[in-house]
Chains A and B, each alone.
Chain A
Amino acid sequence: MSDTFLDVVAEQVIMSYNETKWEERRRRSVDSSIGRRSVLQAGVLSTIGLGLADWVAAGGDHDPAGAARHCILIWLDGGPSHLETWDPKPEAPVEVRGPFSAISTRVPGVALSEHLPETAKRLDRIAIVRSVTSPLGEHNFGTHYMMTGYRPTPVLEYACHGSIIAHVRAQRGVLPSFIAVPDFRVGGSDFSGAGYLPASARPFALHADPARPDFSVRDLDPYPGVDLQRLQRRRQFLQAMDRASLGDAPANADLGDPAFEQAFRLMASPEARQAFDLTREPRRVRDRYGRRTIGQACLLARRLIERGVAFVTVNHRGWDTHTELVTRLRDGFTGARTPVGLVPSLDRALSALLDDLGASGLLDETLIVVMGEFGRTPKMNVRGGRDHWPRVFSVAMGGAGIPGGTVIGSSDATGEVPKERPVTPADVTATLLSLLGVDRHAELQTEDGRPVRLHPPGSQPISELVG
């Protein structure tokens, strides 16, 4: 009895969690070079609750040829002003033009805000979409739309790009596939990210600011007195416990928190933990990115994708500039209660990231996206700010073989509506997913069997960018 119980426990380590099982199979199939398709054909996956067709459609385990392996999404939370960043209107009346001027860039005829000088020098590596348009001017709604390509509906919370990638790609190494730095409080924090996908597809949010001198990922070190061996035992005990109480639950039931498994693996790997150690970077490199949160977060994002992480969201908050736009977008001073100096710190971080990834060659296989949930009103308000404006705004993308220096679409003379080539958030999502190798027809299923297309219905990837 006793030995069999140990066997049972050992077996349960592999079998108990749906997710774990999936991971195990996935790893085994890769290790033995069988490839997922043959595993699929063998019918093994039919028990784990994921539609077979999904995986085939999603391109299987291997990234389709030419697809980007990584993505860094620099999320400008609150809604960045397109007029003060990617789409200045120097010819417009002052109440539209705003307080800043425009500068020319490396790409003839394309101007950027004066506070993006370093980016301007590197614009040959960036494409700007200036005609993104959405009807949703509320933070939560806009965020859901931009992050998932679907408008929010009470029926279903959709999954964001990062969660989709984390779910359909095999995790490389022990680092989570989808990491949010410093956190994932986007659009007013009502959005979990994973939507209908299992909890394992949620972003791993560090909840720690890499710009702080005492930065370290919380709770990554064992509690005093609890060594790895004991953690291993806890893991087995917990699995046995859940197994017992669930009885003959079907394989596709959510059997618990697969995050436990991930936590155990992450803790056991010193290499993985070094990824988070920014003190290993030379001082001048850290300075180059800028010492503010977004700078150090981008530096950390670079270290993470160098170690195989598929998707990093850098969450840069404070772009909801209803008031004091000048202070918040331009000036920088320490001790400010709200984030300030947003545009220059973005400029610095983004250009350092482009330089480093360009030098290491990773830029070719890494997609960089800079966007927020909407733009800002063309006319300044009486409080020296701009309010929400979803009707036209800009998204910037670079790397992953995107033709740099391209400008897609345009807004009208006052940055009020798209003038040419309107692009919807669904199109942006389709573009992102296409570049990351998710097939147009790929589908996943919700827990209750509702099929969800990953490319939103009616969406069209931006052809100039996906090639």
Chain B
Amino acid sequence: MKSGRAWCRSILVGLVVWAAAILPSAAHDGATSSSEQLVDFDTQIIPILTRQGCNRGSCHGSAAGRGGFRLSLYGGDPAADFRAITWELGGRRIHRADADRSLLLRKPTEDLEHGGGYVLDADSEAAMLIRRWIAQGARRLQRRRVERVEFSPAHLRVERAGERVALRATAYYDDGSSEDVTRWTAWTTVDDTAVRLDLEQHTVQVERPGRHLVLARFLDVVAPLEIILPYGRSTSRNPSIDGTASAKGQAVQRHPIDRLVEERLAELGLKPSEVVGDYAFLRRVSLDLTGRLPSVDEVVAFAGDLDRDKRTVWIDRMLDSEEFTIFWTYRLATWWRVRAPGRGHSRDVIAAQAFQQWIRESLEQRTGLDEMARQLVTATGDSHVHGAATFFRLANGPRELAEVFSETMMGVRLRCANCHNHPLDQWTQDDYHGLAALFAGVQAGRVVRDRGHGEVIHPRTSLPAVPRIPGEAAPVTGGRQQLASWLTAPENPYFARAMVNRVWAALLGKGLVEPVDDMRRTNPAVNERLLQWLSEAWKDHGYDLRWLVRTIVTSDTYQRRWDPKATVVEQRMGASASARPLAAEVLADALADVTGVAWKFGGHSEPTRAIMLADVELPSRALDILGRCDRKGTCQGAAPKVSGLARTLHLLNGDTLNRLVGDRQGFLHRRLESGVSDRVLLRECYLRALSRPPTSSEEGHWLKLLTETEGGSEELRRAAWEDFWWALLCSREFTTNH
């Protein structure tokens, strides 16, 4: 039977269009195919409601229903829908003796006035199926359940714009039957300006080059179909790849990341840019690994280092440094939303510091991220001592904890499933409230403990929700311990991918999945094979953060040159690096290092590095202007508090940059006092701020301008240098990592 089914499938690929259009009932390949076959509510009527849009969030699928008729969103709850259709309103929605008098048919065919308008043709196959179901007694047989649905093409590359591609969906049921459900599937596209769907013929046409997605939904199964129309005219073999490999002139094995990225680029008809030079490499990798610009000494030493493997050697040195630990503590603190519980002056800064300190110590001891996650999820005790416990104090109640947990640890946004099953993913309200119930017993004062009781009311049943792990059927009895074991088990499909994706985003600007906390079936990675390989390999290496960072930064993909002409797609796919704005704290520290004027944030009397602040609410206009994140959300792509003109006015006229530039004890003025020559000073400025010497034309240009004041007063000379210094620190080259 199995081989028979496969055989059927292969023929049907060719026959799909006419099979769907001409011979609807012939598409059944199950055992029964008589026209008097009983209609199954769950697998035949519900899909109609979904395809016609009846149970959308904007219609009867909304939480309150519409026009007094409420359906579960996208048919997530067939039992409730069956009740609503057959029992409510005194059963008037169906008329068993004369199906055509059923409201279920009269409304959508606009035989009666219908707020949603005309959504069903009375002569359509869908209407006939509904009619038959009612005539058969409008029963809920639960004859079969969907086991899986195959949508095709799951992945396809077309060579010409406008080429028609047939869409197809096949449902496989638990009774062994299968059925072509193409016409009962809701097909949508993410970008309808690039992808044209023909819902009569069930075809799709791609109008613009790129990687496009079509979303398919049958019952609660959703899946993306990827269709690629390559850029340029290159064929699937990309000569530049061979070129790159042979340029190295070795038979060394290609870095797995580069192999996977370049395969993807070839498929898209894109070419990678070359690898960056030494100066740009050192600046980029220093900022990414240590959050600092390289010192002038390091820049010079690296340039003069003749070791062929110097990049790897320097990477390893940085990975072992204290700066790496400090900076990646900052990054993890951002991801895990370290901040002070409470509000305003009563916020508990010590708890935030303890949380951060716990991260730092874990990284110092090279604890695997799986073990850190386990400790975090199971943390109890005094949050001033056991810093990880602070995590539970940062959310407002068990529901919010469930959301924060899903976003930070699973890279998944469960929050939609609070009020209804997630429309674009598998998540149900049971998952959401089940996870929340798991946290219901957590008492989150300064001391975090499990009370052993506490519940979350499931809005659908109005009963306490059963504690559950998302996606798992069995109730949880082992509390947070069990959740932690599940999360960090090697077979867990979320944790490693979520963390790998975040590290990738930190190092290359954008995640393989974007936004990084919105991983779901309908939002596939730009390079799934890469994400998969990296996640698996990382697990095999004990969830070691340094291994992961090292693996990425030693690849050519990481070391590609930033090409200002590169498109967003080229950057996302790894063909070019991108210019990433420095995070506010990193930029603040870079400004302090370069100008030689330290910050004293808040009440601190000692110089402070911004990346080491655990309390992100510490008042600082400078950090607000530079765009610091409040760590209440993902901190990715969030609009800075201060933007545009207001920010610029501050950089021009405010005391942040002007104070640093004008400080007589700072680098610039001390060097001017020392009587150093303009040429030397110019080089020092470039090396300090941009980690490279000026080009000869830059040197010529600036020296000319800066020496124009010669013969004028010392004051004029100083002012000219200050203005140059200011411009350098505002420049794109300084304020981004590229």
- Interface residues of A, Cβ cutoff 8 Å to B: 1-2, 5-6, 8-9, 135, 153-155, 176, 189-192, 199-200, 202-207, 217-223, 225-226, 230-231, 233-234, 237-238, 240-242, 244-247, 249-250, 253, 255-257, 259-260, 262-264, 266-267, 391, 417, 447-451
Contacts and interface: CB of A to CB of B under 8 A. Distances in A.
Contacts of A191: 639
7 contacts: A192-B639, A203-B644, A207-B646, A217-B649, A240-B701, A247-B564, A417-B67
B662 A205 contact: no
Contacts of A246: 564, 732
A267 B653 contact: yes
A237 B650 CA distance: 18
B652 A155 contact: no
B653 A2 contact: no
Contacts of A233: 720, 723
A263 B645 contact: yes
A226 B523 CA distance: 50
A260 B732 contact: no
Interface in B71-99: none
A244 B193 CA distance: 37
A349 B518 CA distance: 42
B646 A204 contact: yes
Given A219-B654, A263-B648, 13 more contacts: A1-B700, A1-B704, A204-B645, A217-B649, A218-B646, A219-B650, A220-B653, A233-B723, A247-B564, A259-B644, A266-B649, A267-B652, A448-B567
B400 to A, nearest CB: 14
B702 to A, nearest CB: 9
A266 B653 CA distance: 12
Most chain-A Cβ atoms within 10 A of its Cβ — which of B66, B190, B568, B646? Answer: B646
A176 B645 CA distance: 9
A135 B645 contact: no
Nearest to A203: B644
A190 B705 CA distance: 43
A5 B564 contact: no
B723 A391 contact: no
Contacts of A6: 705
Given A223-B653, A249-B565, A448-B568, A237 B723 contact: yes
Contacts of B633: 190
Nearest to B520: A154
A155 B224 CA distance: 14
B733 A241 contact: yes
Nearest to B621: A218
A447 B568 contact: yes
B648 A242 contact: no
B128 interface: no
Contact of B733 (A135, A176, A242, A249): A242
A238 B731 contact: yes
Contacts of B655: 223
A135 B648 contact: no
B103 to A, nearest CB: 18
Interface in B550-565: 564-565
Given A219-B653, A219-B654, A234 B193 contact: no
Nearest to B726: A234
A448 B638 contact: no
A161 to B, nearest CB: 17
A2 B523 CA distance: 55
B698 interface: yes
A397 B731 CA distance: 44
Contacts of B662: 225
Contact of A245 (B208, B639, B647, B731): B731
Contacts of A449: 208
A447 to B, nearest CB: 7
Contacts of B523: 154
B613 interface: no
Nearest to A179: B645
B730 interface: yes
Most chain-B Cβ atoms within 10 A of its Cβ — which of A221, A240, A256? Answer: A240
Interface stretch (B57-65, B151-159, B197-205, B390-398): B57-65
A262 B564 contact: no
Nearest to B694: A244
Contact of A237 (B193, B645, B724): B724
A219 B652 contact: yes
Nearest to A194: B644
B71 to A, nearest CB: 14
A2 B567 CA distance: 36
A199 to B, nearest CB: 6
Which 4 A-B pairs give the minimum distances between C-beta atoms?
A237-B727, A192-B639, A245-B733, A249-B564
B515 interface: yes
A225 B705 CA distance: 20
Given A238-B727, A241-B731, A259 B645 contact: yes
Given A155-B190, A448-B568, A263 B652 contact: yes
A226 B654 CA distance: 11
Interface in B628-685: 633, 638-639, 641-650, 652-655, 658, 662
Interface in B679-729: 695, 698, 700-701, 704-705, 719-720, 723-724, 726-728
Interface string B42-66: 0000000000000001100010101
Contact of A202 (B57, B638, B644, B654): B644
A155 B167 CA distance: 23
Contacts of B518: 154
A242 B732 contact: yes
Contacts of A249: 564-565
A135 B57 contact: yes
Nearest to A199: B644
Contact of B645 (A266, A391, A417): A266
A204 B647 CA distance: 10
B701 A257 contact: no
A144 to B, nearest CB: 12
Contact of A257 (B66, B191, B648): B648
Contacts of B565: 249-250, 253
A202 to B, nearest CB: 4
A242 B652 contact: no
Contacts of A244: 695, 698
Most chain-B Cβ atoms within 10 A of its Cβ — which of A231, A253, A257? Answer: A257
Contacts of A226: 653, 658
B161 interface: no
B350 interface: no
Contacts of A230: 719, 723
Nearest to B568: A448
B216 to A, nearest CB: 17
A237 B733 CA distance: 13
Contacts of A190: 633, 638-639
Contacts of A448: 567-569
Contacts of A262: 645, 648
Given A219-B646, A245-B733, A249-B564, A234 B727 contact: yes
B653 A221 contact: yes
B62 to A, nearest CB: 6
A207 to B, nearest CB: 6
